[in-house]
Chains A and B, each alone.
Chain A
Amino acid sequence: MKTKFWVALATTTALAMPALAQDAIRIGVLTPLSGTYAGIGQQVRWGLELAAQEINTSGGILGRPVTLIYEDSQANPAVAMQRAERLFDVENVDFLTGTVSSGVTLAVGELAERSGRLMATTVSFADSITGARCSPNVFRVNARAGQQSVALASWLAAERPDARVFYLGPDYEMGRSTVAAFRSNAEGVGATSVGETFAPLDSADYSQYFGALRSARPDVLYTSVAGNDTVRLFTQLEDFGVRANLTVLGASGTVTSQNIAAIGAAAEGFVTGVGYSTLIDTPEHTAFLESFRAASGGADPDLYGADSYGVLFAYQAAAQMAGTTDTDALREAFRGLTWNTPQGVKTIRAGDHQAMQQMYVVRVEGGEFRIVGNVSAADAIGDDLCERF
C-alpha cells in the first residue's frame, strides 16, 4: 500500500526533473475542462496556448521557455483546492492562472498566499477578489463586475430611463457580486429594482423561477448566468413567452462567441458591458484575431480568450522588469504595470491589483455583437476598496 505512495512520489519527481533541467517557467493552469464551464476553460486554453507559443518563438521570458501545466478545476472549490495544492507543491509552478469560478479564485488565492506564489485570474468577475477580499498575491487582468456595470448602466440611462429591473444571477460569489454591482449602478441612474433571485449553477430548468419573474412585472431583466446555463435560460425564456416584452441585459460572460450560436434567436437584442469585442479596430487586434482563429480551428476569441492571451504578456513584462521570477520582486513589478494587449493598453492598479481598461457596450443584432457605446478606463474602474495593502 505504502509503496503506491512512493511509486507516485517517485514518478512525479522523475517527471519534474527534465522540466527543471530545461529551466522552463512553469505556469499552472487551473481551469474547468469539464462541466458547465468547460467552454470557458476551452477559451482560456486557446488564449494561453497561443500566447505561450508566441512568447516561446520570440525567445521566451528572461530567456526561458514557458510551459503550461493543466489541472481540471471542475468549477468546484473543494476539488480545485486539491488540484491547486498539487500544482504548487508537486508541479512546483512559478505562477498560476486560469481560475474561472469566483469562489475558486478566492479560495485558491488564499492558498497562493500560503504557498508564497502569485496568481492572476483572467475570468472571475466578483468585485470582492480585488476589493473587500483582496490578496497581495492575487491579480486580475480582466474587467470586474463593477467595471462592466458602469458601462452597462450608462447604456440603460440613455436607452431605458426609469426601467423596472429584475435580477437573476447564479447562486454563488460571482452571481451575488454581479447582481449587487449592477443593481447599485442601475439604481444610481434612476432604475427601480423589482426583485432578484438566484439559481444554482448548472440548473436544468429555469422555468420554476419564471413565476417570481412574472409577478414582479419588470421591463428589464439583468442576468449573470454563463456558459451552458445561459443557453438553457434564454431558450426557456423564449419558449415560455417571458422574453416577449423584456429587454435582457447581462454580464460580459452571459452571451459570448462561444455560446451565441447555441442560443440562436433568443440572444437577439441582448446588451452587455464588456472589456473585449471582436470588432475592436486596431492592427494589433486584427493580427491577434487571425492567429487566434488559426489556433482554435476557426473559433472567435471571446473576452476570456482575449484576457487569458494577455495575462502571459503581463507576466513577461513584469518578469523582465523585475529581472527575476522571485515572488516579492515580481509583485512589485506587477503593481502599476502597463502593458499592451489586443484590447489596447491595460494598467494594473497598485492599490487593489485590478486591471484598468477601456470598456465597451455591445448589443446582439442579427446574431452578431455590435458596439453601441464605450466608457474610458478611468470612468469605469470605480473606487479602490482593498484595505490589505
Chain B
Amino acid sequence: MPDIMDYLQFILAPQMLNGLALGISVVLVALGLTIIFGLLDVINMSHGEFYAVGAFTALALSALGLNYWVLLALVPILLLPVGVLVERYLIRRVYDGGDRHVSTLLLTFGLALVIEDILKIIFGPNTHRPATPLPGATEILGVFIPTYRLALIGIGFVVIAAVALVVYRTRLGAMVRAASYDRNMAASLGVRVGWVYSGAYAFGIALAGLAGVLLAPIYSVFPTMGHDFILLAVTVVIVGGMGSIWGAVVAGISLTQVQAISALIISPVWGDAIIFGVMVVVLMFRPQGIFGRIGHA
C-alpha cells in the first residue's frame, strides 16, 4: 500500500502535473486556431509560424531590455495589425474562389514557408534559449516543479477564461458569433462582417503570439519551433470540434494527459502516434469533433 501511495505521489502526480503544463500550452496555441476556423472557415496553416514570430519578437525586444511581463502584453498587441493585414490583403482574396477550405489552406501554407524563412534570415537557423523569468523550483507534496511551469498553468487558465468571456459574454463576442452563424443575416443587422473577420483572424494570431512568448522559456526559440507544436494543436482542434473553445480546452488537457500517462506505461516515443491515432478515429466517426462550433453549440 505505501508503495502505491509512493508511486502516485512521486511518479504519477508530477508526470500528470507536467502534462497539464504542456496541455495548457497546447490549448493556448489551439485557441487561436479554433477561433479562426470557427469563424472564417480557414485552417490557418501558418499558425505555428505566428507562434514562432511571437517568441522571436519577445526575444528581440528583451534584448533591447524590455521586461518579460511587459512583453507578455506587448507582443500580442504588436501582432494584431499583422493579422488584420494578412486577412485583408491575402486570405480575403481567396474566400470565394472555388473550394474555400482548400484555397485558404494552401495560401496559409505558402505564407508559413515565407515566414519561416524570414525568421531564419533575421535570426539564423540556431536555437536560442531565453532565461526563465521565474527561476527555481517549488516544492509541492515533496516533489519539485519548476516555478515557471506552475505560473504558466495559472496564466494559461486566466487567458483561456478571458477568451471564453470575450467570445461568450460580450457584445463583441455576440457579433462574432452572429457573423459566424449567418454572415448575411448578421450583415443585414448592421454587423460589419468584414471587420469582424479581420478582427477574429488578428485575435487568433495574437493568441498564437502570446503562446510563443509564454512557452519560449520552456521550449527554446528556433525558426521551425512551430512545426512540432502545431501538429498537436491541430489534433486538439479537430478532436475538440473545430470552432469550439471548450472543446479545445477539454481535448487539449485530456489528450496531453493521455500522452503523459502513456509515456509512463508504454514509452514516451509512442505519444505522438497515439495522439494522431485518436485524431484519425475522431475524424472517421465524428468529424465535427466532440463539441460543436462557435455559434452552433
Contact = CB atoms under 8 A, between A and B. Distances in A.
A204 B52 CA distance: 14
A239 B259 contact: no
Nearest to B132: A239
Contact of A204 (B139, B143, B144, B219): B219
A286 interface: no
Given A199-B268, A215-B11, A241-B144, A208 B127 contact: no
Interface string B258-295: 01100110011101000000000000000000000000
A204 B11 contact: no
B195 interface: no
A365 interface: no
A208 B219 contact: no
Among B12, B139, B264, B268: residue with most chain A CB under 10 A: B268
A208 B18 contact: yes
Given A197-B267, A240-B137, A34 B125 contact: yes
A214 B14 contact: yes
A200 B269 contact: yes
A35 interface: yes
B220 interface: yes
A34 B126 contact: yes
B143 A241 contact: yes
B103 interface: no
Interface in B113-147: 124-127, 129, 137, 139, 143-146
B219 A205 contact: yes
A211 B218 contact: no
Nearest to B267: A197
Given A211-B12, A240-B144, A240-B146, A204 B220 contact: yes
A204 B139 CA distance: 23
Contact of B10 (A35, A214, A228, A236): A214
A196 to B, nearest CB: 10
Interface string A213-253: 01100000000000010011000100111000000000000
Interface in A179-211: 197-200, 204-205, 207-211
Contact of B14 (A34, A36, A205, A210): A210
A205 B22 contact: yes
Given A204-B220, A212-B264, A171 B11 contact: no
Interface in A329-361: none
Contacts of B218: 204-205
B182 interface: no
A274 interface: no
A214 B11 contact: yes
A231 B260 CA distance: 22
Interface string A20-59: 0000000000000011101000000000000000000000
B122 to A, nearest CB: 15
Contacts of A231: 129
Nearest to B146: A239
Nearest to B136: A239
A211 to B, nearest CB: 4
Nearest to B148: A239
Contacts of A214: 10-11, 14
Contacts of B14: 210-211, 214, 240
Contacts of A205: 22, 218-219
B96 interface: no
Nearest to A204: B219
Contacts of B129: 228, 231-232, 262
Interface of A: 34-36, 38, 171, 197-200, 204-205, 207-212, 214-215, 228, 231-232, 236, 239-241, 262
Given A204-B220, A204-B225, A208-B18, 16 more contacts: A197-B269, A204-B218, A205-B22, A205-B219, A207-B18, A208-B22, A209-B268, A210-B15, A211-B12, A211-B15, A211-B18, A212-B263, A215-B264, A232-B220, A239-B144, A241-B139
**A-B residue pairs, 6 tightest by C-beta:** A241-B144, A211-B15, A34-B125, A204-B219, A239-B146, A211-B264
17 contacts: A35-B126, A197-B267, A199-B269, A204-B228, A205-B22, A207-B18, A208-B19, A209-B263, A211-B11, A211-B15, A211-B264, A212-B267, A215-B11, A228-B127, A232-B129, A240-B14, A241-B139
